[in-house]
Copies of this chain bind each other. A is one copy, B any other.
Amino acid sequence: MTREIIIAGAQMGPIARVDTRESVVARMTTLLEKAARMGAQLVVFPELALTTFFPRWFMAEQQEIDVFFETQMPNESTEPLFTRARSLGVAFTFGFAEKVTENGIVRRFNTSVLVNIQGEIVARYRKIHLPGHSEHEPWRAFQHLEKRYFEPGEGFFETTDLLGGHFSMAICNDRRWPETYREMALRGAEVATIGYNTPLHYAQAPEHDHLQSFHNHLCLQAGAYQNGLWVVGVGKTGVEEGCGLLGQSCIVAPTGEIVSMASTTGDEVIVAACDLDRCAEIRENIFNFAKNRRPEMYPLLSAV
């Protein structure tokens, strides 16, 4: 029995601040339908897929911020996507801003969910590595207030069984950290799905702006190869509210090779047939962790 899964990345062009959830979900549904026509069994959408990337603005009023958050999932706005996916028998994953009340305390996370072909949420991941800053910094061309608007997730990079494989989620900045992929792989992941919103301009080191795409692919490819994982990195891209966002969403084989890549800065579907058994080519050989890792030599990696 083959363990090949056809996976799609559904890259998304800009979302304006005024765009309704319904209009965004309609775009996502169109992408999902196209992906299904291309054989996809799983569709990966970007981080914060339902709204514009709102951490670029400083907002003093929590009420104004909360407009961008979802208090339940699925909800009325996203139900059409869940329904269509279920009718097509396609699994999917996407990111959104999540507001939950736990033990009477309101908490906000940068979250993604994994939805099976029955339309059930089977995994939820809350972003661990929040980039940016927590205070208003007017000197910047735009803000990156993730550290203000979200609290960091406390879950690990756990794996979920889906479609006969083992999946882990990460979000945007998580993908830059080799720790992310290694924790996933040590927990048995075979596929990492990663949504992102990455501004082309990096205020603290603008001399690296031209390297954004290189750095994105470098991290995704190294993460794939050094762990024998399939990696699916999918961005929101194009010029969104005046801010250029990185595209070149891609699917990376366990060899580190990019096997499918977006070439527009708009809504675009990429697909690849991902044979999960190919993970073993790497994981049973050069990166055979049990045989070749030396965790006793890495005391600082987990040291708090």
Contact = CB atoms under 8 A, between A and B. Distances in A.
A178 interface: yes
A138 interface: no
A182 to B, nearest CB: 6
Contact of A303 (B202, B295, B300, B304): B295
Given A152-B294, A292-B129, A294-B128, A204 B300 contact: no
Interface in A200-248: 202, 204-205, 207-208, 211, 214-215, 218-219, 221-222, 225-226
Given A186-B300, A299-B302, A218 B256 contact: yes
Contacts of A298: 179, 182-183, 301-302
A262 to B, nearest CB: 21
Interface of A: 128-129, 131, 152, 154, 156-157, 173, 176-179, 182-183, 186-187, 202, 204-205, 207-208, 211, 214-215, 218-219, 221-222, 225-226, 255-257, 281-282, 284-287, 292-304
A225 B211 CA distance: 11
A294 B219 CA distance: 18
How many identical subunits does the complex contain? 2
Contact of A214 (B154, B205, B256, B281): B256
A256 B213 CA distance: 12
B293 A205 contact: no
Contact of A218 (B157, B218, B304): B218
A178 B178 contact: yes
Given A281-B205, A301-B302, A256 B211 contact: yes
Nearest to A256: B218
Given A178-B178, A214-B256, A296 B285 contact: no
Contacts of A157: 297
A297 B204 contact: no
Contacts of A297: 128, 154, 156-157, 179, 183
Given A211-B257, A218-B256, A303-B302, A286 B128 contact: no
Contact of A177 (B179, B186, B281, B293): B293
A178 B299 CA distance: 14
Contacts of A207: 281
Given A211-B257, A222-B219, A226-B177, A295 B287 contact: no
12 contacts: A173-B286, A178-B179, A202-B285, A202-B286, A205-B285, A207-B281, A208-B255, A211-B256, A222-B222, A295-B301, A298-B301, A301-B302
